[in-house]
Structure 1
């Protein structure tokens, strides 16, 4: 057992493997140790990623209409959430949406489609989109997220220029059967392994705040570590009305920071993304979280709206970080960020959840 968080950081920087006992100590640490915890986790983050933040941009190619019954999802079978529902957008719209994010600073575009998994025709459709995107933006990374892959599909995605594949484990194997009955935890693991074997960078992460125990969280984090995920998005449950988990508010900003720190200590050199739900759960502690996470989604999510893209970029700059791939800003005349009172630690809803009504699948401009 470590003596303090700095000692734990020393151990991780020397190549140690985080133990379950140490992970539990991080996850259950007290609020009065929060700044010490963040400072120690920040040493690992800066050792591997300096002061850069990787900006990712989501394009929802197909929204809703999913036959799966994942309890957390607004696109699930039987969902009454009033989200946008549309079938595949046209390639030119996908390219236009991706370009919006790239111009705003995104170095990775994530192409996502709802459903259990793609048909071979769907893979061909996405391949054409990727080829067009790479032709116009050869330096951008493309991550596909299309569900459970069948034999040969990962290889085809790799061949057309896809760089990474996202398929989240979401929670522990033990808890998985409580959140989904239409596929199994092992199906998700197998898809990530197929993607990795095909040469795609494995992207797999979590959804927290669904009622999981500390042991479930540690199981899930260690499963991601064992899987060799290069990128770990940490999503904070967005409890959409019309889903089984509506009204579920189990996270505080401090709890979110501890979860991010646990992932960072377990996977010191991995891209950790503070993903969906960060605005409503981290709230004013989002800039502090950037000292642990080194990645975020810019602007909107798949079916809900995020904070304005320009606010994301301002937050990155105000916190003393730079967007990965951007030119450093040496303008010392820029105004300093202002401080805000921290929110109460009690569990309560934060920012309202707003259904996405702009961007992909609509006639309105995207948020970036």
Structure 2
């Protein structure tokens, strides 16, 4: 495609058109010499809906390891041979301390993440008790990621003030059985639906680089459009020694940027978040990712370290982007 057609494609998307499979595939096959032009088109869409604002997110790993699932990418799974720290659900005070740090870093969304197939009732009670106090003290947007939910658990989280629930589809329906066999693709979609039914904003994303095809990547982007996920975290596989996907290293920074552009073109109005693996896979091109995405994680992830949050803040300043500090504004006006 020519330079002018990327611009035309972006304009069509802004006016409500959907990409054809051929157009979607052309984004992932974009010649490297056209990469900046492709990103310019993605930025047109991003800027139309979000301007130069960037949302910051921070994870607190509230429960580590002890997971019976066999997800091939995860160091916390039952089949992983990785020496990962394991501990049960942290107490309320630890969750509150994490919220205090998130508030200090001007983080808009504080993510409470727990390993395992799904939460026990006691674990949901711990989270909801903390969330009620977090909302009162800091006014932070809270996202919970606790595994597969029962409908009544989703209702309890909503009542406590949880704004968003994350449960990633991770990969395409066709590729899912290559990644895990202890639960189905539909199990994951069902949890997202439970959150939506409870009135919680759905967050669902993917992990790129797990031996999927480019057609799989397109299916992921379209599936999330169909699910109507409000927030789409895009992880890039950082293969950890001791996991079934150990040694897989098929990504390069330019392809990662093309994936981010694809998700913006297919899900133009949604929060596209650069998530795990960005430091390893985007490397020196990390700042360019924000011309397609409008959200990043700051700090560490679950079992891998991120970069210093001050570096992320510097990137935003250097790009001329601004932190979407909506919660702080709400608190000042409230």
Q: Superposed, which structure 2 residues align to 1:306-345 within 5 Å?
A: 306-325=306-325
Q: Distance in 1 between matches of 2:37 and 2:201?
A: 33
Partner of 1:364: none
CA offset digits 1:263-299 (Å, max 9, x no partner): 0000111000000000010011111111110000011
Q: Distance in 1 between matches of 2:306 and 2:276?
A: 8
Q: What is the CA distance between 1:226 and its match in structure 2?
A: 0.3
Partner of 1:45: 46
Partner of 2:302: 302
Partner of 1:187: 187
Q: What is the CA distance between 1:99 and its match in structure 2?
A: 1.2
SS in structure 1 opposite 2:296?
strand
Partner of 1:215: 215
> What TM-score, normalized by structure 1, do the two folds share?
0.87
Which consecutive unaligned segments of at least 5 residues does structure 2 have? 330-334
User: Any conservation in 2 of the 1:101–1:298 contact (CA below 8 Å)?
Assistant: no
Q: Distance in 1 between matches of 2:87 and 2:120?
A: 17
Q: What is the CA distance between 1:18 and its match in structure 2?
A: 1.9
User: Any conservation in 2 of the 1:143–1:162 contact (CA below 8 Å)?
Assistant: yes
CA offset digits 1:19-48 (Å, max 9, x no partner): 222111111111011000000100001111
Which consecutive unaligned segments of at least 5 residues does structure 1 have? 329-368
User: Any conservation in 2 of the 1:175–1:212 contact (CA below 8 Å)?
Assistant: yes
Q: Distance in 2 between matches of 1:221 and 1:126?
A: 30
Q: What is the CA distance between 1:88 and its match in structure 2?
A: 1.1
Q: Distance in 2 between matches of 1:21 and 1:190?
A: 30
Q: Distance in 2 between matches of 1:18 and 1:190?
A: 26
SS in structure 2 opposite 1:56?
strand
CA offset digits 1:161-182 (Å, max 9, x no partner): 0000000001100100110010
Partner of 1:175: 175
Q: Distance in 2 between matches of 1:81 and 1:260?
A: 29
CA offset digits 1:36-94 (Å, max 9, x no partner): 00001000011111111000010111011111000001111131212221111111111
CA offset digits 1:116-147 (Å, max 9, x no partner): 01122221121111112112112x10000001
Partner of 2:111: 110
Partner of 2:69: 68
Q: Distance in 1 between matches of 2:20 and 2:75?
A: 35
Q: Which runs of 4+ in 1 moved over 6 A?
A: none
CA offset digits 1:93-112 (Å, max 9, x no partner): 11102211221110110001
Partner of 1:366: none
Q: Superposed, which structure 2 residues align to 1:1-368 within 5 Å?
A: 4-138=5-139, 140-325=140-325
Q: Distance in 1 between matches of 2:195 and 2:151?
A: 10
SS in structure 2 opposite 1:174?
coil
Q: What is the CA distance between 1:211 and its match in structure 2?
A: 0.6
User: Any conservation in 2 of the 1:57–1:98 contact (CA below 8 Å)?
Assistant: no
Q: What is the CA distance between 1:217 and its match in structure 2?
A: 0.7
User: Any conservation in 1 of the 2:99–2:138 contact (CA below 8 Å)?
Assistant: no
CA offset digits 1:212-231 (Å, max 9, x no partner): 00111111110000000000
Q: Distance in 2 between matches of 1:221 and 1:4?
A: 21
Q: Distance in 1 between matches of 2:101 and 2:113?
A: 16
Moved more, 1-10 or 148-157: 1-10
SS in structure 1 opposite 2:175?
helix
Q: Distance in 1 between matches of 2:84 and 2:102?
A: 22
SS in structure 2 opposite 1:182?
coil
Partner of 1:357: none
Moved more, 183-192 or 93-102: 93-102
Q: Distance in 1 between matches of 2:61 and 2:45?
A: 33
Q: What is the CA distance between 1:151 and its match in structure 2?
A: 2.6
Q: Distance in 2 between matches of 1:262 and 1:190?
A: 25
User: Any conservation in 1 of the 2:151–2:198 contact (CA below 8 Å)?
Assistant: no
> What TM-score, normalized by structure 2, do the two folds share?
0.95
SS in structure 2 opposite 1:144?
strand
